[in-house]
């Protein structure tokens, strides 16, 4: 791939950052308050705009409702646009109200299910106002003890609720169905893996696609293979990028195993150029979103790091010599194929990306530029340190 083609491909990359990544977050033990952390949706959008200003590839912000609820979404949309970003995926929250203790759309109580579906439908309405294409659905539903509830009945409740939401989606929009192995449920999670999400999507309709969160799999699962499978079936809708080693650690994407992130992008790049229409179209419509918790590190800088890690992984994936790879694969040349694949990963793409940034009027080193910009000091001064709450009570 020559530099022109590379730069054109790099021009197309988009990473959506999440509003909640700019606010305080923590573990069940403690939420440490970060000085300058965004206190409301407007400050979150400002932080997201700073990330986009420095990287050029993070032009939208995902919202979490009701965390980011406002009276007037048209106004919020204008606010975002005035900062140079747009509003992205809408993420409903059906895990935090007290009635959701035993689940939302899978709850044994039909009233609770109705409440949950009602919130989801409100979020569909928000989509219309924000102009969002994607409704991003994660459910904390599950059980902690064997026998606690009927697994098949819960599955059917999930199916029914998803179907209702699906049918209410505006034309041209999608629902992205996320799965997760565990947490906060510790015996069984209702949408427990990609197979479950996929089966539901197939059953409810064309607007339903699967969302892959990199932190939601069992140990050792090959994520790039799931990505390839879903692309080939036309059902990969998007990503929640982050990194993990143990559980759903929600660390900065690419920090635990950068080779895995590269391997995932390698599948996406291949699919974007696939001969098969369905695969190619699916790949080109994938929503790339970050979903992380920056518990101990500065949030804006962490988000910059995340976006840049995705850019590096994508750039390396673009460098794979596809012809040579295909030839080695066809010949059963195991090590030749693997080496062709890993040679792209071995390449240091920082100079290339610095050049790409230069050519777009962006700072060559966005993190250094951010550190030099005084942005962090400014927001600390303006926002102070919000009470973080969270974690165990300090004193019962």
Window 231-250: residues binding its own copies (CB under 8 A) = 231-233, 244-247, 249
Judge contact between 189 and 197, C-beta under 8 A.
Answer: no
* Strands 174-178, 208-213: pairing kind: parallel
Euclidean distance between CA atoms 244 and 177, whole angstroms: 20
Cross-strand partners of 176: 136, 209
In angstroms, the CA 32 to CA 25 distance is 7
User: 171-185 burial string, b = 16+ CB within 10 Å, else e?
Assistant: eebbbbbbbbbeeeb
The strand pairing partners of 241, in sequence order, are 290
Residues 342-371 binding its own copies (CB under 8 A) are 342, 345-348, 350, 367
Span from 2-10, 80-88, 117-125, 215-223 in contact with its own copies (CB under 8 A): 215-223
What is the footprint of its own copies within residues 171-200 (CB under 8 A)? 181-184, 186-188, 192-196, 198-199
Q: Should residue 33 be labelled a site residue for its own copies when binding is judged by CB under 8 A?
A: yes
User: Closest CB to its own copies among 162 and 337?
Assistant: 337
State which residue, 7 or 187, has the beta carbon closest to its own copies: 187
Residue closer to its own copies by CB (options 16, 248) is 248
Tell whether residue 113 is a contact of its own copies (CB under 8 A).
no
3-state secondary structure of 102: helix
Among 141, 149, 178, 213, binds its own copies (CB under 8 A): 149
**Shortest Å, Cβ 122 to its own copies:** 15
73 binds its own copies (CB under 8 A): no
Centroid of chain to Cα 205: 22
Burial tier of 92 (Cβ tally within 10 Å: 0-12, 13-18, 19+) = buried
75 near its own copies, rule: CB under 8 A: no
Minimum CB–partner distance for residue 231 and its own copies (Å): 7
Residue 193 CB, nearest distance to its own copies (Å)? 6
68 binds its own copies (CB under 8 A): yes
Q: Pseudo-torsion of CA 231, 235, 237, 240, nearest 10°?
A: -70
Q: Give the span between the Cα atoms of 309 and 353, in whole angstroms.
A: 11
Distance in Å, CB of 184 to its own copies, minimum: 4
């Amino acid at each position: 791939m020559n530099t022109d083609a590379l730069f054109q491909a790099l021009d197309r990359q988009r990473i959506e950052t999440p509003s909640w990544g700019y606010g305080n977050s923590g573990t069940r033990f403690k939420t440490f308050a970060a000085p300058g952390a965004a206190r409301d949706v407007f400050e979150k959008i400002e932080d997201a705009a700073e990330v986009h200003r420095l990287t050029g590839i993070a032009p939208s912000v995902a919202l979490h409702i009701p965390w980011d609820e406002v009276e007037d979404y048209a106004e919020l949309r204008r606010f975002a646009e005035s900062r140079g970003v747009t509003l992205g995926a809408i993420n409903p929250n059906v895990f935090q109200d007290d009635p959701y203790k035993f689940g939302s759309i899978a709850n044994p109580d039909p009233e609770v299910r109705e409440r949950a579906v009602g919130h989801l439908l409100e979020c569909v309405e928000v989509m219309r106002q924000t102009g969002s294409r994607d409704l991003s659905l994660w459910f904390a539903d599950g059980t902690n003890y064997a026998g606690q509830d009927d697994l098949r009945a819960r599955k059917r409740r999930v199916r029914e609720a998803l179907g209702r939401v699906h049918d209410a989606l505006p034309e041209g929009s999608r629902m992205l169905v996320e799965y997760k192995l565990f947490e906060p449920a510790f015996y069984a999670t209702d949408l427990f893996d990609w197979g479950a999400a996929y089966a539901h999507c197939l059953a409810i309709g064309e607007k339903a696609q699967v969302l892959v969160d990199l932190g939601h799999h069992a140990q050792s699962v090959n994520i790039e293979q799931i990505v390839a499978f879903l692309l080939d079936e036309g059902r990969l809708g998007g990503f929640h990028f982050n990194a993990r080693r143990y559980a759903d650690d929600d660390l900065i994407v690419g920090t635990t195993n950068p080779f895995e992130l590269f391997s995932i992008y390698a599948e996406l790049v291949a699919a974007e150029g696939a001969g098969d229409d369905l695969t190619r179209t699916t790949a080109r419509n994938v929503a790339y979103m970050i979903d992380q918790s920056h518990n101990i590190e500065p949030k804006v800088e962490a988000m910059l790091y995340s976006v840049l890690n995705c850019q590096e992984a994508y750039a390396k994936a673009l460098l794979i010599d596809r012809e040579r790879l295909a030839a080695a694969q066809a010949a059963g040349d195991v090590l030749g194929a693997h080496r062709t694949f890993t040679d792209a990963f071995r390449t240091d793409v920082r100079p290339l990306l610095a050049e790409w940034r230069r050519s777009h009027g962006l700072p060559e080193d966005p993190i250094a530029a951010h550190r030099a910009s005084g942005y962090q000091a400014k927001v600390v001064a303006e926002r102070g340190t919000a009470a973080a709450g969270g974690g165990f009570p300090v004193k019962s």
